[in-house]
Amino acid sequence: MGFVLLLGCGAAAYAYFKLSGNIKSDDLSANGKNGAGTEKPDAFGRTPINLLVIGSDQRTDAGDKKLGGAADSSGARADVEMVVHISADRSNATVMSVPRDLVASWSGCHDKGHPSMGPQTDQKINAALNGGPGCSVDAVHQLTGIPIDHFMMVDFKGVVKMSNAVGGVPVCVDNNVYDPYSHLKLKKGNHVLKGDAALEFLRTRHGFGDSSDSRGRTVAQHIYLNSLVGTLKSHGTLSSPTKLWKLANAATSALTVDNALDTPTKLIGLANDLNKVPQNRITYATLQTYDTKVNGVDETLISKPSAPALFRTIIDDQSLTTGSGAKTKAAATPTVAPGTIAVQVQNGSRAIGRAGAIAQELIGKGFSPQTSSGDGPDTTTTSLSYPAGEQAQAQTVAKALGLPSKAVKQGTGNGIVLLLGTDWTTGTVYPGGKSASTPSDSKAALEGANSKLSKCAQVSTFDDVIGLNAAGQPTSSDHTYGSTSPTHAYALSPNIKDSAP
């Protein structure tokens, strides 16, 4: 923006017009204005920002088909989905990747200009993009409960443009790697990825980690994104008029954004918010999943209770790093992950629907889905009873609902029972109380989330690259007969040019 001002009125007007003309925008939600949820302000009235970054595999023109291959060119899928959470005070951020093959359900999508989609049950979440970016926003919001304020979508050509605009993105690989599917081929060591090489690195699904979309691919993407952030901050890109103009021109022509970001001024405002977050206070995580067979079909499902704990830290705007950038630790006082606590909510107030409303509030706050509701004995005073040894669990429930300490007592039953009295017939917070965010243990939130950011991308050791012919190309598209590792594939392909020196 400083560069634009320095250009003078005439040139600034041209620059603004040029950048405005580049921007493509779309509706945030495919199901109405409020389909993506609403943020809760903090005590100072500040609100966090949650941005959904989407990498589309749609091949709508010859350029994208050349980069991504013409196969499976119909429709659109999300190769990359990341929820970027910027804290209300702009002191920290969390980047949570959503694995593309994760099975989810969403309410369908009806967005002008995109194919309509009825309610979807147990479908891969990447398919929501076929209903437009607003459909992906709705699917991720319904899966996680996290409000989504904005989205940015980039296609194959956009990745190439952005990597070139910053002069390349430095990465490191810990071994030789060749994935003939994405065409990524790199020697062990450091490289600067530009153009096609950047896209190949981001798209490889057999090159890194456990050779999967759920873990290996997302960790490599985190390494790339962290390096890109560092490049922008340390190489003078944001302070160089020439570099800034090149980047702004590339970014605005490469991205599709929601309608609330459809001008250069609005994009600059978001960039300024992002730029306030120190790089060492960005936590990268992959939504926790596990692979299983359902009716004989391989599926990727959410791991509980760790994934809901991660969602809750984002919803409650809780930092996963300390001021020094280290991962936060569990509090010294006893804390219990809400996802492990089931509550029996009983209605003793006789107000219609009270037990069900409070039970749903607890589940929405991350407590166990086994939380139940029903009728209880008439009472004037709300109480929370717990069995021996479960005082910490009861205190977690009390804090979440604003119950006073005098309402919590040890009982003789086998479970935690919340009996609602006539002193609490409306609302989801006890009258006069203050609802605290359920204490989310960062250890639980990051359990299995691959949050440790390695210096080098770890090359897969699995034999998941199928046989190669003399030209170093795969002899079949059938993954059933995997026969070699990415490192061995590199050795078998001396005639294939490396993606980057």
Decide: 499 and 183 in contact? Cβ < 8 Å: yes
Residue 273: which pLDDT band, with cuts at 50, 70 and 90?
A: confident
Q: Does residue 4 or residue 210 have the better pLDDT?
A: 210
How is residue 140 written in tokens?
Answer: 């991720």
Residues 221, 286: Cα–Cα separation, whole Å: 10
Whether 350 and 306 map to the same domain: the answer is no
Q: Measured on CA atoms in the order 216, 144, 305, 321, is the torsion positive or negative?
A: positive
Residue type, 43: A
Whether 321 and 346 map to the same domain: the answer is no
Decide: 475 and 468 in contact? Cβ < 8 Å: yes
Residue 214, domain member (yes or no): yes
Mean pLDDT of the chain: 84
Residue 332, domain member (yes or no): no
Residue 443, domain member (yes or no): no
Predicted pLDDT of residue 7:
37
> Which CATH number does the domain housing residue 278 bear?
3.40.630.190
List of residues 6+ apart from 248 with CB closer than 8 A: 19, 264
For the segment 291-339, what is each residue's pLDDT rounded down to a tens digit?
A: 888 888 888 899 887 898 899 899 989 888 876 666 665 433 345 778 8
Residue 496, domain member (yes or no): no
SS3 at position 86: strand
pLDDT surpasses 50 at 1: no
Whether 431 and 286 map to the same domain: the answer is no
Weakest mean pLDDT among 199-203, 244-248, 367-371, 372-376: 244-248
SS3 at position 489: helix
Number of Cβ within 10 Å of residue 293's Cβ equals 8
Angle at 299 between CA 298 and CA 300, to 5 degrees: 135
Decide: 98 and 83 in contact? Cβ < 8 Å: yes
How is residue 347 written in tokens?
Answer: 């209605």
Mean pLDDT of 240-245: 71
Q: Which residues of 246-283 are buried (b: 16+ CB within 10 A; e: fewer)?
A: bbbbbbbbbbbbbeebbbbebbeebbebbeebbeebbb
Predicted pLDDT of residue 225:
92
Domain count across the chain: 2
SS3 at position 28: coil
Prediction pTM value: 0.74
Residue 343: which pLDDT band, with cuts at 50, 70 and 90?
A: very high
Give residue 308's domain range. 2-325+451-491
Helices 241-254, 156-165: inter-axial angle, 10-degree rounding: 180
Whether 373 and 274 map to the same domain: the answer is no
Decide: 496 and 193 in contact? Cβ < 8 Å: no
Q: Does residue 357 or residue 64 have the better pLDDT?
A: 357
For residue 171, which phi and psi values (nearest 5 degrees)? -140, 165
Whether 469 and 412 map to the same domain: the answer is no
Weakest mean pLDDT among 18-22, 32-36, 166-170, 372-376: 32-36
Whether 314 and 345 map to the same domain: the answer is no
Decide: 316 and 438 in contact? Cβ < 8 Å: yes
Predicted pLDDT of residue 476:
60
Which candidate, 148, 48, 143, 134, places its Cα nearest to that of 88? 48
Predicted pLDDT of residue 332:
37
Paired strand residues for 109: 117
For the segment 134-174, what is each residue's pLDDT rounded down to a tens digit?
A: 999 999 999 999 999 999 999 888 888 889 888 899 999 99
Return the H-helix or E-strand segment holding 39.
none
List of residues 6+ apart from 338 with CB closer than 8 A: 305, 308, 309, 312, 365, 366, 367, 368, 396, 400, 438, 439, 440
Residue 120, domain member (yes or no): yes
List of residues 6+ apart from 431 with CB closer than 8 A: 423, 424
Whether 193 and 287 map to the same domain: the answer is yes
How is residue 207 written in tokens?
Answer: 């090159």
List of residues 6+ apart from 13 with CB closer than 8 A: none
For the segment 25-84, what is each residue's pLDDT rounded down to a tens digit?
A: 999 999 866 678 888 887 788 999 999 999 988 656 655 545 555 555 556 888 899 999
Whether 256 and 352 map to the same domain: the answer is no
Residue 27, domain member (yes or no): yes
Any idea of the CA torsion for 373, 376, 381, 384, to the nearest 10 degrees?
-50
Q: Which of 396, 413, 438 is the last residue of a domain?
A: 438
For the segment 105-129, what is each residue's pLDDT rounded down to a tens digit?
A: 999 898 878 889 999 999 999 999 9
Report the half-sphere exposure of 162 (CA within 13 A, side-chain side): 23
Mean pLDDT of 370-377: 94
Angle at 457 between CA 164 and CA 171, to 5 degrees: 30
Residue 500, domain member (yes or no): no
For the segment 181-238, what is each residue's pLDDT rounded down to a tens digit?
A: 888 999 999 999 999 999 999 988 889 987 766 667 888 899 999 999 888 877 666 6
Residues 366, 345: Cα–Cα separation, whole Å: 15
Q: What is the β-pairing status of strands 49-56 and 150-154?
A: parallel
Q: Does residue 58 or residue 249 have the better pLDDT?
A: 249
Whether 94 and 16 map to the same domain: the answer is yes
Long-range CB contacts (< 8 A, 24+ apart) of 319-323? Answer: 319/87, 319/91, 319/92, 319/281, 320/92, 320/94, 320/283, 320/285, 320/442, 320/445, 320/446, 320/451, 321/92, 321/280, 321/281, 321/282, 321/283, 323/91, 323/281
For the segment 452-469, what is each residue's pLDDT rounded down to a tens digit?
A: 888 899 999 888 776 676
SS3 at position 230: helix
> Which CATH number does the domain housing residue 374 bear?
3.30.70.2390
Mean pLDDT of 371-387: 95
DSSP3 helix / strand / coil % (the chain, rounded to 5): 35, 25, 45
DSSP E strands, 361-441 = 372-375, 383-386, 408-410, 416-420
Residue type, 182: S
Whether 309 and 346 map to the same domain: the answer is no
Whether 141 and 22 map to the same domain: the answer is yes
How is residue 230 written in tokens?
Answer: 């560092």
Predicted pLDDT of residue 95:
96
Whether 107 and 173 map to the same domain: the answer is yes
How is residue 3 written in tokens?
Answer: 């560069």
pLDDT surpasses 90 at 427: no
List of residues 6+ apart from 266 with CB closer than 8 A: 260
Angle at 219 between CA 223 and CA 468, to 5 degrees: 105
Residues 131, 291: Cα–Cα separation, whole Å: 26
SS3 at position 500: coil
Cis, peptide link before residue 305, omega less than 30° from 0: yes
Residue 501, domain member (yes or no): no
